[in-house]
Structure formats: structure tokens, C-alpha cells
Amino acid sequence: MPSVTFSEHELCVLEAICNTFAPALSVETTPLYRYNASALNVPQVLAEALYQVVDADRLMLFKLTLNLLDQPLVNSIIGGNARSFLDMPLDERTALLQLWSRSAVPALRFGFQAFKRLALFFFYTVIDSEGRNPLWAEIDYPGPTAPPEPSDKPIRPLELTTDTTLTTDVVIVGSGAGGGVVAGELSAAGLDVIVLDKGGYAAESDFHGRELESAIQLFENRGLLTSNDLGVIVLAGSTLGGGTTVNWCASFRTPDHVLREWEQIYGVTGFTGEDYQAALDAVSARINVNTTESVPNVQNAAIERGGNALGWKTGVIPRNVKGCEECGFCNYGCQYGAKQSTLKTYLQDVHDRGGRIIINAHVERILTEFGMARGVVAAAHTPEGQPIKLTINARAVVMSAGAIHTPAVLMRSGLTNANIGLNLHLHPTSVTYGMHEQAVRGWHGPMMTRYISEFSQLEDGYGVSMQTAPIHPGIAALVLPWSDGYQHKTMMKQLAHLANIIIITRDHDGGQIKLNRVGQPVIHYQLSKYDAAHLQRGILESLKVHQAAGAVEIGSPHTVPLNYRGDGDFDAFLKRVEQAGLRRNTFALLSAHQMSSCRMGSSPRYGAIDPTGETFEVRNLFVADASALPTALGVNPMLTIMGVAYTIAQHIKAKLT
């Protein structure tokens, strides 16, 4: 039981909030309109989720918000309605939440988004005993494909039954694009390696595609991770294989202008020549990067059609797949084994060579002696879930826990370089949509195969890229506009006809990872004016793509709906979108790429690690993951992370063998 809980009265207010976002409506008798959030047990699911993922300080803020809504005086000041939220009819509750959504007070927008996102996500993802949500049929969502057949898992993680001390050559913390590659390369060189991951292990037979369960099982913070002010929704893998298990397979090489920037500004040598290109070649071959399997689904065909009609640069996205079944669920793990993640490639190699892999192990700190890394201490679990202490003694430590957790471990271990935790880049991403007469079904087929790069270099190598994202009901409900329950439900009813374009910004200005009171990482990030200008440009240009692709209705990412239905002045619509601006928590802003929080540099002034990946403060302590990248890339980072990790692994080999 968490240290802070909701009272029965607070839970009643929470239920009223959920039933305002997803109300019971008499306009139709179908479940979509007839059911409210309570009918699907959403308030209880939401409360339990908060207990699971929110720390005590943040939970107190939620309690405060619930109590404020219960105060007639507060509601009178905010919305001119001197009644408790519980005493208001639906239309008055809706009006009050609308005021919160567009308030000039950031705390009110924070509260609105917190409850809006959670209530609507759960409304469309909770399932019954048959594994179905009663709303799916009405929005033409078939749900996951047939569950995979049970089978033996190809990797057998090491099982621990008591407090344990192990010894190895190299301990690698994290198993994604960075850690997986380093582990594979070092084990191939004959070094003994142990890989630790704080997530669990899911293989093909575990990838069922159910949205809510998959978020809980495979993603950081059970899929509910955000920046500290809720301004950015952050998607990060937390399972064996890390992000490579749940990403969308885009496999771009590092742009040349980015590599030149690394060398010229940050003094990071060794990445502009043939050796790094050979590293990219090596990892591309191992994970089977190709374009022959990048077949466009209806949604990707739409962005390509719109881009070509405008005369803009479009391209085919290379993907790391082999025998793709085009199911549309690879963001929740590939049950066919077609995605060539580190789970299927480098980690399997490590296991087959006798390397040890340990799951559900959260590294607390790095052991050091006389300025040299000597191992790690982790909180692990037995197969029955009992907590135990794990100590690993090693000749070298490689941190590959990602741009959120790698700096956290370094800070908890006493490292003080000013770049640790700083310079966090997120590729801030927003989304626009177009409704089409024909069905799109954005949950079906290869989810990301086409892109538009016309605006990737708006200014000094910085700009935006346009791609598409998979549309499953939960994530759609979370980001789509909400003005009232009827508007949102009606929009969800048309979900099968919705195509989206995501606008990925190469952010010039970064945020920061800080530690909270109990030493866990907190994301601090606000969109700068420089980056917001690029994102705004991308949003406006993406709306033109929707129009050129033949959409009959077009919408912006703002919470307060801004739509164009082809019956007015399109330029005037674009102007309205531009004037709406990009204030925090008034529009959809997400990140699936976290980078640069322990960046490489030529000296401690420019980075936390040198160009070989070794920290400036502690010898034999290396960083090899997205946090090592000196800057944001402007393209999906998986292949770059792997290439950098491959390069760093060669330096570790040379030092230890």
C-alpha cells in the first residue's frame, strides 16, 4: 500500500472527473455513447495506476487537485460556479474542465491533462475476461491478432535465490540498442559479460498486443512517464532489449552534418571517418536493415501521396526486420520474431556464448576504488519476487541504461561532472490528423515506412521530419482533442478513418535529468522558443500534407479542437492554428527518443565522457547508449546508438584484452 492514498470522498471526485471526460450520453444506445467511465471501472483502474507509478509528493498534488474541485469557493473563482464539482450536472462539470484546459494558470492545465489523458487512455484499453473492450467494435478496432502459441523462451536469464555476489570481466547495465551491442561485441571477443536489466523478459509468446497490459509490461513507468510538468509524454522501453523491443523499426544512419557538428563543436573525433561508417555497416548487417520490407500501409501511403503532391522530399524508411508479417503491433513486441531487436540478435549471441543475463535488477550505484570502476550494487528479485541484494565485481562497468537512468546511476554513485544529466534532448514530437473517406486503419500494416525530410534543415542543421505513428485506441484517445465527451467519442468513432502525421523536432536546446528525494530520475524539459518555432512550422506544413493527400477533415494537435473541413479558407485555418501557439499542456507533445544526458566531448567542459565512451572521472567506467550522443540527431536514433556503442565496444576490447 502506498504511503499516500485517496480518501473515499476524493475517490468520488475522481469518479466524477472520469465520468466527465467519458460520460454516459443518450444520443445513441450503443456502448460507445451509453457507457461512462465507471461502467468500465476506469476510476478504480486510474487510482491504482497512480498508486503504482506516482511518488508521494506527486500523489499529494493529485489529492490537492481533487480537493480543490470539491471547494465551491475555488470553483467560483475559476469558473463562476459556486458549487462542488460533485454537485454539478454534466454540462457544468464539462464547462469547468474546459476552463482548466485553456487557463493561463499552468497548474490548472497540469491538472486537466493529468486526468484527461489517464481517464481516456483507460476508457479505451481496459478489457474484460474475454480480453475485449466493449467499445472496440464500434470504432472498428479488431483488437490484437490471435495470441501466440506458448513456447520455450530462447534466453534463460540467470535466476537468483538469495543475496548474491558475482564476478565478471564486464558488467553492462541495460540491454537495449547500446547495451545489447556492447555485450555482443565483448562476448565475441572472449570477455566474460553480465548484462543487467531492470525490466522483465518477454519473448514472442508473451507479445499479446493488448495495449494496456503491454504498456505496463514493456514500458518505463508502466507507460505513464512524463516530464515533471506533464508537458511531454515520454515513451521509453523497460524490458529486456530496451527500446529495440518496442520501437517502430526505423533504422536511419547518422546524418553527415550531425557527425561534423559533433567533431567541430564538441571535439568528438573518430566518427566522421570510415571506421564509424563500417560500424554502422556491421550493426546494419546484424539486425538486417533493409528497405525491401518497408511496404507502405494506407497511412504511410497517404503521407507519401501528400508530400509528392506538394513536390517535397519524401523517402522510404529502412527497417530492421526479417519476414515482417505486417501485423501493426510491433510497438508492443513482435510475436512473429521478425523485428531484429537486440533481443533477437546481440543478446541471443551473448546467451549462446555463455554470457549471463539478469532481469528485474535495478542498479543502485557503481562501486569504485582508487578512481576506478569495480562493479555495481543492484536491487534484484528472486523468481518469486522476493527482494535480494546483488553485487557484481568487474574489471569494467558499462552504463547503457538510457538517457533517463544512466545519468541517475552516475549521480547516485557520486560523479559530479556538470554534463551528467544536462543537455537532455527528446526530439519533441507533435501530431496532426486527417480524416479520410476511405478506411485507413492506422493500427494495421508496417507502421512507419515513409517520411518527409523537406524541412529537416530549417536553420543551421536543425528542423523537423514528418513520419507516421501507429494508431491504437488508447494512445489515440490520450492525444486527440477534447472539448466535451460527445465531441471526443464522435472523433473516436471515426478512428478507423484517421491518418496522422508526427512532426519530429531536432531540438537544439535541452532539458535535464534531476534526482528526486529518493534518488530516482525526474525529467525536466520545456520547449525552447527556438525549437518551438521549428515545431510550429512543421505542424503547419503537415496540415498541408493532409490536405494534399485528400483528407476531408484536418485537425491540429491542440486540446481545444481546431478543425478544417474543406468548406472555408484553408490559409485562414492555418493562421488560427499558428495563433493558438504552443503553450505547455495545451497541445499534444511526446517523445520516443531520449538522448545526450551524458554526452561525449573532448574534455570535461564539453561532455561527461570522452570519445572512447570512458567517463572523465572514473577509469574503466564507460557509457554506451543514447545518453552518449553529443546532440539530438533529427532522425530516429536506434542505428546511431548501435553504431556508437559498437565503436565504444572496440575501445573497451582494446583496453581489456
Helix (H, G, I), strand (E, B) or coil at 438: coil
Strand partners, 391: 165, 377
What are 104-154's pLDDT values in tens digits?
A: 999 999 999 999 999 999 999 999 998 999 999 999 999 988 778 888 999
| CB atoms near residue 318 (< 10 Å) | 21
**Residue 149 confidence (pLDDT):** 83
**Statement: residue 315 has pLDDT above 90:** yes
The residues facing 290 across adjacent strands are 319
Q: What is the pLDDT of residues 451-487, one digit of tens each?
A: 999 999 999 999 999 999 999 999 999 999 999 999 9
| Cα torsion angle, 341, 638, 404, 223, sign | negative
- Per mean pLDDT, which range of 3-12, 218-227, 250-259, 571-580 is the poorest? 3-12
pLDDT at residue 550, as a whole number: 97
- Taking the whole predicted model, whether its pTM rises above 0.95 is answered as yes
DSSP 424: B
Per residue in 185-225, pLDDT (tens digit) is: 999 999 999 999 999 999 999 999 999 999 999 999 999 99
Mean pLDDT computed over every residue of the chain: 96
Identify the pLDDT of residue 615: 98
Residues, the chain, total?
657
The domain at 164-201+239-287+341-418+598-656 falls in which architecture? 3-Layer(bba) Sandwich (3.50)
pLDDT digits (tens, 9 = 90+) for 504-543: 999 999 999 999 999 999 999 999 999 999 999 999 999 9
Classified as helix, coil or strand, 392 is strand
Average pLDDT over residues 265-270: 96
Task: Show the CA angle centred on residue 363, arms to residues 360 and 369, nearest 5°.
Answer: 145
Residues 6+ apart with CB under 8 A from 281: none
* pLDDT, tens only, 622-645: 999 999 999 999 999 999 999 999
Mean predicted confidence (pLDDT) in 493-513 = 98
pLDDT for 554 beyond 70: yes
pLDDT tier for residue 235 given thresholds of 50, 70 and 90: very high
Asked whether the predicted pLDDT for residue 1 surpasses 60, the reply is no
62 φ/ψ angles, rounded to the nearest 5 degrees = -65, -45
Q: What angle do CA 487, 101, 71 make, to 5 degrees?
A: 110
Distance in angstroms (rounded) separating the CA atoms of residues 471 and 12: 32
Sign of the alpha-carbon dihedral angle for 205, 207, 210, 214: positive
Ordered by start, the domain boundaries in the chain are 8-123, 164-201+239-287+341-418+598-656
Measured CA to CA, the distance from residue 162 to residue 35 in angstroms comes to 49
Direct distance between the N- and C-terminal alpha carbons of the chain, in angstroms, rounded to an integer? 49
pLDDT single digits (tens) 558-577: 999 999 998 889 999 999 99
Of all residues in the chain, the percent with pLDDT exceeding 70 is 100
Q: Return d(Cα 544, Cα 307) in angstroms, integer.
A: 9
Cα-Cα-Cα-Cα dihedral sign, residues 331, 336, 339, 341 = positive
Joined together, the cell numbers standing for residue 385 give 519476487
Angstrom distance (rounded) from CA 579 to CA 253: 36
Task: Report the percentage of the chain scoring pLDDT > 90.
Answer: 95
Work out the pLDDT band at 2, boundaries 50, 70, 90. low
DSSP annotation of 498: E
Mention every residue, 6+ apart, whose C-beta is less than 8 A from residue 490: none
Instruction: Compute the distance between CA of residue 551 and CA of residue 530 in angstroms, rounded to an integer.
Output: 30
Does residue 613 carry a pLDDT above 70?
yes
Mean pLDDT of 596-604: 98
Q: What is the pLDDT of residue 580?
A: 97
Q: How many CA atoms lie within 13 A of 48 on its CB side?
A: 8
Q: What is the C-alpha to C-alpha distance for residues 26 and 67, in angstroms, rounded to an integer?
A: 30
For 569, residues 6+ apart whose C-beta sits below 8 A from its C-beta are none
